[in-house]
Structure 1
Amino acid sequence: METRDKNNASPGMIAPDTAMPMESEYAVETTGKDGIQPDIRQPKKSPTPFQDSMRRLRRDKRAMISLAFLIFFIILPLIGPVIYQHVGGTYNSTTYGNISPQQYHDPFHQELDRQDENPSGQYLLGTDSVGRDLFARLMAGMLISIAVAIIVEIITVVLGLAVGILAGFYGGWIDQLLARFTDIMFAFPGLLFTILLAGIFGSSADATFSHIPLVGANGNARLVLVSMALALVGWPFMARQVRGLTLQLREQQFVEAARTMGTTDWNIIVRHIVPNLFSIVIVQVTLDLGSTIINEAGLSYLGLGVQPPGSSIGLMINDASNLVDTHPWEVLLPSIVLTIIVLSFSFLGDGLRDAFDPRSKD
């Protein structure tokens, strides 16, 4: 009987299974005109390699926390001074009379009778040895450090990509010439070479770049020289990594297929080589940003970077280095901020490297 019922079932209907409850991972929506349930199953779209990498990055809690810190330290010096200079009321200065928060929250304003004060409602993080607002100077110093790091990395990426791709893609005498030039640059200790350039040409840079708007004012003229020196010693490592990966990419089948179709070398480089270098470049840039900020702070600490009355994290540490016993806060504040920024770039770079190249963990 049971067999007959199953055989006599309408061809447009599916006989129910009385032994097991019917389960389906797809919802039933409508029935076709002939009574046959349409197949509404859609194949799952496989994620792209980039989406896989970003998913792995989001799972890295340490990298995400570091990214949050970096976003905060980038936004703070950009919009913080605008807001901070409107916080507070008019202040009756013994030297300048009635002054507004735009003046006493300026990173270069000095109140000689308000030296080395602790944090208060007027000065959120206190004042330094000449009565300048520490919070305002810290924001200005962070902006300088981040700006120098970004400029250095832009130059490093441009030079590193150009030299590395040309050497790896064409090979031959071009590879030999560029490789030897890169080896010469590797022969110089990076930071010592930068110190040498800053020490020899620093005064000339102050005179040459002091009239450039947004650069030369307030002791920042030497930053142009510092940025070029740091970029000069930083790009060879980028070029070597790019060259190694380009040597592998030029032998891939998709590059050979592009050559067979008559694609020019320029189009192959732009459309096939450069996009595949994205992961190695973004990881290296993230790791280099932290070291660049340390180098800039070190040069300013030694008096070879930002000059007084300018503001830099390294210069703030130098100014307060003789006050460790009496006012340790003035040294700890910029030191802690510098440590957090550098560690955040380092942890984020490690997370990006693990996300874009999971084999790096092995």
Structure 2
Amino acid sequence: MDTRDKGSELAPAENMAPQTGTAAPPLDLLEAGGDITAAAASLSIKNAPKASSPFRDSLKRLTRDKRAMISLWVLIFFIVLAIVGPYIYHVIGSTYNSDLTGEPIGPSVYHTFAHQEVTHADENPSARYWMGTDGLGRDMLARMFQGLNVSIVIAFLVEVVDILLGITIGVLAGYYGGWIDQLLARFTDLMFAFPSLLFIILLVGLFGPQADQWFGNIPFIKDTGSARLVIGSAAIAFTVWPLMARYVRGQTLQLKEQQFIEAARTSGSSNTQIILRHIIPNLFSLVFIASTLNVSNTIIGEAGISLLGLGVVSPGSSIGLMISDGLEVATIHPWEVLFPTIILTIIVLCISFLGDGLRDAFDPRSKD
């Protein structure tokens, strides 16, 4: 008796299926005389999981960081609130007769950041004014919305300048080396040695009065009292890029020695092509992390110069200006300084936590 036939008869039906973890090949392939091995291989390739990339691995590490993800959602909430909040707030509330003019005014008027009602000065938070009013009777929540908008715009513009200057100078110094590296490195060290706050105060003090004339005709800047803040933002941007340039230079020095750069150079690629196609794309993670960490410093810097009276001026609003105005009555009406301080603290902490999470996710060696 053939033992092979006996074994096949005694074997259960489920044990006859292939043990490779894939489904059995279709019967039509077997009947047509198809190659079972090729069919199984094709099915295995089709069912195999997609290869993971370093970027996907970094995103997975980031999503597992609860502190960073909570911070990200809080920042998204503040950004959406700053953009959409004023439009919603302008339709919430009833109409009342103004104590000054006697005319009826609605929420589209008294819920704006510049509207003043002296008879409603220093009011506690209420159904009409959700965060109360300041010393001139202006809605604190409306001014908070405007202050968040100013902080977001300034942080974005400063980071654009920071990234452009940092990448340009850092890549040129790190890739070419020689006298170019020496010249740019010495200029960067000079900017590091110069006190940033002193430079901002000096620049705004010299050109602040002229800024009202230069930018006074621009609607957004004129209506928000941000003419001097333009000079201050330029000063902030001019003092923050050296750190970005130093990061980029160090990374470029490592990248240009890699084999793929040598292969590109051997294939006839020019220096410009190598920089644009190979060096800069590999700097994105570093630049993104560094710029995220620098956003908090930018927001603090904007609040600081507004606190010193060198940034936004009335009737405009910023978080720093609100803190400055609230300090004068902090002992009597503490909420006027407490609310903007809490908001500024939350934003700065969330940006710092998110920056730490991005650094740990995209550069796990930084933990060591």
Normalising by structure 2, report the TM-score: 0.92
Per the alignment, in what secondary structure is the counterpart of residue 323 of structure 2?
Answer: helix
Deviation at 1:116, TM superposition (A): 1.1
* Structure 2 residue aligned with 1:57: 62
State how far apart, in whole Å, the 2-side matches of 1:218 and 1:257 are.
54
Per the alignment, in what secondary structure is the counterpart of residue 97 of structure 2?
Answer: strand
Match for 2:220 among 199, 214, 221? 214
Match for 2:151 among 145, 148, 151? 145
Superposed CA offset, 1:118-163 (max 9, x none):
1222111111111101110000001101111110010010001000
State how far apart, in whole Å, the 1-side matches of 2:13 and 2:182 are.
74
Per the alignment, in what secondary structure is the counterpart of residue 277 of structure 1?
Answer: helix
Match for 1:266 among 247, 268, 272? 272
* Structure 2 residue aligned with 1:75: 80
* Structure 1 residue aligned with 2:304: 298
Deviation at 1:44, TM superposition (A): 2.6
| Runs of 4+ in structure 1 over 4 Å off | 15-24
CA contact (8 A) 1:211 1:217 kept: no
Per the alignment, in what secondary structure is the counterpart of residue 121 of structure 1?
Answer: coil
* Structure 1 residue aligned with 2:26: 30
* Structure 2 residue aligned with 1:41: 44
Say yes or no: does 1:95 pair with 2:100: yes
* Structure 2 residue aligned with 1:279: 285
State how far apart, in whole Å, the 2-side matches of 1:18 and 1:182 are.
72
Q: Residue 41 of structure 1 aligns to which amino acid in structure 2?
A: S
Change (3 A) 1:2 1:279: farther
Say which structure is richer in helix. Answer: 2
Deviation at 1:177, TM superposition (A): 1.0
Deviation at 1:64, TM superposition (A): 0.3
Q: Residue 171 of structure 1 aligns to which amino acid in structure 2?
A: G
Change (3 A) 1:358 1:90: same
Say yes or no: does 1:3 pair with 2:3: yes
Aligned residues: 358
* Structure 2 residue aligned with 1:359: 365
Q: Residue 66 of structure 2 aligns to which amino acid in structure 1?
A: K
* Structure 1 residue aligned with 2:202: 196
CA contact (8 A) 1:249 1:255 kept: yes
Q: How does 1:202-241 map to 2 (within 5 A)?
A: 202-241=208-247
Deviation at 1:20, TM superposition (A): 11
Q: Residue 110 of structure 1 aligns to which amino acid in structure 2?
A: Q
State how far apart, in whole Å, the 1-side matches of 2:65 and 2:136 are.
44
Q: Residue 283 of structure 2 aligns to which amino acid in structure 1?
A: L
CA contact (8 A) 1:306 1:312 kept: yes
Change (3 A) 1:3 1:274: same
The runs of 5 or more residues in structure 1 that have no matched partner are: none
Change (3 A) 1:163 1:103: same
Change (3 A) 1:34 1:163: same
Match for 1:84 among 80, 86, 89? 89
* Structure 2 residue aligned with 1:177: 183
Normalising by structure 1, report the TM-score: 0.93
The range that moved more, 222-231 or 212-221, is 212-221
The runs of 5 or more residues in structure 2 that have no matched partner are: none
Change (3 A) 1:2 1:133: farther
Change (3 A) 1:68 1:2: farther
State how far apart, in whole Å, the 2-side matches of 1:215 and 1:194 are.
19
State how far apart, in whole Å, the 2-side matches of 1:340 and 1:234 are.
22
* Structure 1 residue aligned with 2:254: 248
* Structure 2 residue aligned with 1:112: 118
State how far apart, in whole Å, the 2-side matches of 1:162 and 1:16 are.
70
Superposed CA offset, 1:251-300 (max 9, x none):
11111111111112111111101110011100011000011000100110
The range that moved more, 36-45 or 72-81, is 36-45
Change (3 A) 1:134 1:18: closer
